[in-house]
Structure 1
Amino acid sequence: MADQSEALAIDPRDAILDAAAQCFMNRGFNATSIDDIARQLSATKGMVYHYFSSKAELFFDIHHRAMDALFEELEPVLASDLAPPARFTEMARRYVRTLIRTQPYQRTVSEAVHMLLRSSTTDEQRVRLEQLQARRDRCEKLFLAVLEEGIAEGSMRAGRPRMSIKPVFGAMNSVIQWYHPRDGETEQQVSAVVDEVVQIALRGVMA
């Protein structure tokens, strides 16, 4: 794995985004300054500003990358010929695993979007926030479509699917708040965490 200096040389934007996401997760969005991000990188503030005009700009890119990572995992399963329960379960596994793998990015999305919505934003920023929210909604709709398919064939259950999908997402998304990687943690151990979260999250919608 490349160290920070190598990462900066290979792809400065990626390195800056990684550092910003880590800082936002550790310190909070409001409490993090561009100086903090530069220190995390062992770089200058000017270098950060060379690629990103503001913390808001960093947030928008972090949000897009967080969502890209989820869609890249979900869409191939959605297009598969698995039965709805198996498809829904595999999508949930990939969703939770991606939340863990990209935790700093996902935590930034979870915490900063509410702060930005409550703060003064420009018209351009407001449009971008609405676009980001549309992507979040689309992610939920991917799961909802499979749930409704499963209900129609009798293999899944939900009296009110649009309501039932909310606690499913609440349980899955909780992992970004309490999960902490451990030294020497194996892929098998991560998979056990993923399976446990998925089992709990999906318990109410499986027939």
Structure 2
Amino acid sequence: MKEQIRQISIQLFAEKGFKETSIQDIVNALDVTKGTFYYYFTSKEQLLMDIHLSYIDALLEKQKAILNDGNRSSREKLYDVIFLLIHDIEKEGLSAKVYFREMRNLSEPHFSKIAEKREQFRKQIEAILVEGMEKQEFRKDLPVDIVALGVLGMANWSYFWFNPEGRESDRAVSDIFMKLLLEGLKGSQ
């Protein structure tokens, strides 16, 4: 039942928004009582926090596996992280939408806990970039923190526009992003 509450809430939060969705909306959609909801969650915000933690913890675990793969170059690791983000947005769909759009509805200390995990994800992208710079796979004249934020901006914003049934697949979008990162928009002269 806890997972059913999570899933219907993700759907409702994605469709209506967190603030516009009431606990009554959630229990009505499941045809259960408010008591059932409160058995699993103390509040709607605790439910939102649970959704956020599940999403970011799964991303961090997958990112850790990428980082620890000693057989991959820094370029391959960066590609894998970009693909992870795009693919996860495709795979998780509404969860990704809720994760990216509804964080602002978390109060302290929930907000800080999620922000800390997001920061960890970003720092691990920075580690890939530094490793690549040291191995001369990436240029060294750009600030690592801004490049990492650029990677996250490109990949994370795709939750808003990426359509898995659209013109380009998650793999193709990841390829485009990598080409843009590594080659820029420089034309042939």
- With normalisation by structure 2, the TM-score equals 0.86
Q: Percent same amino acid at aligned positions? A: 24
**Corresponding position of 1:72:** 61
CA apart distance, 1:65: 0.3
Post-superposition shift, 1:79? Answer: 0.2
Contact 1:29 1:111 in 2 (8 A): no
Q: Determine if contact 1:171/1:197 at 8 Å carries over to the other structure.
A: no
Is the CA contact 2:10–2:98 (under 8 Å) kept in the aligned structure 1?
yes
Higher relative contact order (CA 8 A, sep 6+): 2
Show the counterpart of 1:46. Answer: 35
Q: Give the match for residue 177 of structure 1.
A: 160
**2:90 equivalent to 1:114:** no
**Which residue, out of 149, 164, 188, partners 2:147?**
164
Q: How many residues align?
A: 181
Runs of 4+ displaced beyond 3 Å? 179-182
1:24 matched residue in structure 2: 13
Given that 2:104 and 2:111 are in contact with CA atoms closer than 8 Å, whether structure 1 keeps it comes out as no
2:105 counterpart of 1:129: no
Q: In the alignment, which residue of structure 2 is the partner of 1:3? A: none
- The equivalences for 1:146-161 within 5 A come to 146-157=128-139, 159-161=142-144
Residue aligned with 2:19, SS: coil
TM-score by length of 1: 0.79
Provide, for residues 10-38 of structure 1, a one-character-per-residue CA deviation record: whole Å limited to 9, x for no partner.
xx111111111111111111101111112
Letter in 1 for 2:124: L
2 CA distance for matches of 1:146 and 1:180?
28
Structure 2: gaps (5+ residues): 184-189
SS in 2 for 1:108: helix
Q: What's the RMSD between the two structures over aligned residues?
A: 2.1
Gaps in structure 1 of 5+ consecutive residues: 1-11, 183-188
Residue aligning to 1:198: 174
Q: 1:180 to 1:50 in 2, by over 3 A?
A: farther
